[in-house]
Amino acid sequence: MRFVGFLILLLASANACAAQPVPPPDAAALHVTRGKSSIVALPSDAVRLSVGDPEVADVMMIKPRELYVLGKKTGTTNLMVWTKDGNTTVLDLSVGLDVDHVRAQLRQLMPAEDKLVVDTLGDTVVLGGTVRDLATLQRLLSLGDVLGDGKKALNLVRVQTADLPTPAELAAPPSPVPLVDKPEVIRGIKRTAE
């Protein structure tokens, strides 16, 4: 029970930290952006800490109640914090891509496309939502290579225009189309009348 109380205080303090606080999405998790750092305030003095995978994140104790967290590589790990009073807290720590930067660039380059969604799934940039037409989708996909900084991109964008075939049109059998204009000429061989 003391662990839960400590965890709630730890996360509440992280939200109140003035220098780039880390707002945890749930009771036992921290999230940082790859290549960026955050300061996490602790509710009590820490005496030791450990990061599960130091290739994913760097964590340093600046003061007994203040941690510096740097996202190094996209992925997840955990952070263990031992306090002066003998408690140990384990937090899940995830490092993700900077999608806020990509969102801002897309708003600047395509301001009329306000129904686009940009998110991440591991090391992949996920593009979703809707665009007005196929030309806009093609432009978005070519921008995705540049904005994704060489990262993988998953396209879940829908086109909102009437120039796409409907499901009924796709299911209909094709109409007969003559193969050549002149029936006496087939594949370069001229037929002669018999």
pLDDT digits (tens, 9 = 90+) for 123-141: 778 888 988 888 888 888 7
Residue 112 has what pLDDT? 87
Residue 192 has what pLDDT? 53
- Domain boundary assignment for the chain: 2-96, 99-164
Beta strand 88-96 pairing with 75-83: antiparallel
Residue 47 has what pLDDT? 95
CB within 8 Å of 121: residues ≥ 6 apart: 154
Residue 174 has what pLDDT? 66
Residue 121 has what pLDDT? 79
One-letter amino acid of 80: M
Residue 8 has what pLDDT? 38
Other beta carbons within 10 angstroms of residue 4's beta carbon come to: 11
pTM over 0.95: no
Residues 22/66, Cβ–Cβ less than 8 Å: no
Residues 28/90, Cβ–Cβ less than 8 Å: yes
The segments of the chain whose pLDDT lies below 70 read: 1-28, 144-151, 161-167, 169-170, 174-194
- 2-96: CATH class: mainly beta
The H or E element containing residue 49 is strand 46-51
User: CA-CA distance, 38 to 55, in Å (whole number)?
Assistant: 17
Residue 151 has what pLDDT? 65
Residue 164 has what pLDDT? 61
Tokens encoding 40: 């996490």
State which fold the 99-164 domain adopts.
Histidine-containing Protein; Chain: A; (3.30.1340)
